[in-house]
Every structure is written in structure tokens, then in C-alpha cells.
Amino acid sequence: MNLHRIEWNDEYKTGVPAIDADHRQLIELANEFLSAAAAEAALHQLSPIMGRLIVHAAEHFAAEESLLDRNGYPDLARHRAEHERLMAQARTLHTRTQASADRDEVWRITHEAAEFFQRWLLEHIIREDKPFRTFVMRLA
């Protein structure tokens, strides 16, 4: 598994400073998790990082959805459903990690979570948030 650091670049900008700041924070938390996973940190170190990432993502998604709702974003229902799907996956991975007593199982789930967070952040920002970028920029 390639646990490379996620580097912020202008391709991820939405044009909304608060959203961009949240995305940067999510990437930093994901990088913290990726670094810990690559270093084979203990579960008691990984779990809180994953928990903070999930909490921040939920707060970010709520703020993003509120902004889009206030501005009449036409694809909000689909965007919200995608957020719910991602959060369900993240919470399931966190629960599975915490519930496993088997070290090999914990590491397998940890690696699955690391891949998920890498893919989630980059794909979601590029595929899901970029379409509202044009919409939000038009309103500014």
C-alpha cells in the first residue's frame, strides 16, 4: 500500500475560503493518520486520529451543505447523499478497527482505512466539490 502524504494544490480550491480551509485541515488530519499507519503506530494512537478526522469531516460536510442550501445549489440532494455514504464508510471502518482484538485484522483494516482516506479526500474534492466551485464562484 502506498501511504504517501497528500499535498495540497490549487486543483483542490473551491474558491470558498472556509471550505478550502476545511479541506486543508482534513488533508492534514488524513496525513497524520497516514503517517501513523505507515509507522505502524499502535491502535490506541491510530483510533483517536481516525476519530478526529471523522468528526471534522462531519462538521465540514454540514457546513458545506448549509452553504450550498443557502445558495440554492441544484445538486444538493445528490451531494448530501454522497457525504452520507462517505461518513457511513468511515464510521464503519473506525468501528471495525476498534472492535477487532486481532492485531493482523487491525492492521488490515487500518490499511483499508488509509487507502479509503486517501481516495476519499482527493476524489471527493475533485469529483464532487469542483462542480459546485463554478456555482459558488458565480455567486461571489
Give the Cα-Cα-Cα angle 33, 107, 43 (nearest 5 degrees). 60
Q: Which three cell numbers stand for residue 55?
A: 468528526
The rounded mean pLDDT for the chain is: 87
Which domains does the chain carry?
A: 17-139 (1.20.120.50)
Residue 135 has pLDDT above 60, yes or no: yes
Give the Cα-Cα-Cα angle 8, 10, 16 (nearest 5 degrees). 100
Least confident of 31-35, 74-78, 114-118: 114-118
Q: State the pLDDT at residue 139.
A: 59
Average pLDDT, integer, range 38-52 = 87
Q: State the pLDDT at residue 125.
A: 87
Q: State the pLDDT at residue 137.
A: 72
Q: Where are the alpha helices (DSSP H) in 71-102?
A: 76-99
Residue 57: Cβ within 10 Å count:
24
